[in-house]
């Protein structure tokens, strides 16, 4: 799979509209997104790391991601995979997220 930089930026910008209900900030700035790809059939493949294995809002976040990406031209489906090693840590957050949460 190869994705143009322009399309990847569009997908990432769309993912930045998905707000984690616990942290009240978007999943991109929280550092949850490891990678994004788009195949020839229009399936977006996203690899994510959440704060904990078995995150209680995992299903809710998946629905939010799928709903957000429905508006992106050329996207027909979404596949989300999870990576737990290395584990998520505060260092994955952007400076904006750290400031928003009072961690900087």
* CATH code (residue 70): 3.30.300.130
Q: Is residue 22 part of a domain?
A: yes
Question: What's the confidence (pLDDT) of residue 1?
Answer: 64
d(CA 15, CA 28): 7
Write down the pLDDT at residue 104: 78
In a domain, 42, yes or no: yes
Domain residue limits at 47: 5-86
Establish if 60 belongs to a structural domain: yes
Q: Is residue 30 part of a domain?
A: yes
pLDDT, block means (10 residues), the chain with 104 residues: 88 98 98 96 97 95 98 96 96 97 91
Residue 61, in any domain of the structure: yes
- Over residues 45-73, the pLDDT tens digits come to 999 999 999 999 999 999 999 999 999 99
pLDDT value, residue 67: 98
Here the tokens at position 77 are 């489906």
| Residue 29 lies inside a defined structural domain of this protein | yes
pLDDT score at 63 = 98
Tally of domains within the chain: 1
Q: How far is CA 8 from CA 15, 21, 74, 84, in A?
A: 10, 24, 12, 23
């Amino acid at each position: 799979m190869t994705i143009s930089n322009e399309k990847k930026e569009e997908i990432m910008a769309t993912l930045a509209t998905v707000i984690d209900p616990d942290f009240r900030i978007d999943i991109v700035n929280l550092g949850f997104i490891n990678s994004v790809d788009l195949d020839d059939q229009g399936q977006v493949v996203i690899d994510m790391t959440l704060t904990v294995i078995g995150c209680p809002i995992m299903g809710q976040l998946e629905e939010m991601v799928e709903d957000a990406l429905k508006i992106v031209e050329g996207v027909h489906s979404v596949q989300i995979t999870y990576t737990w090693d290395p584990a998520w840590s505060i260092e994955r957050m952007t400076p904006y997220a750290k400031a928003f949460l009072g961690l900087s």
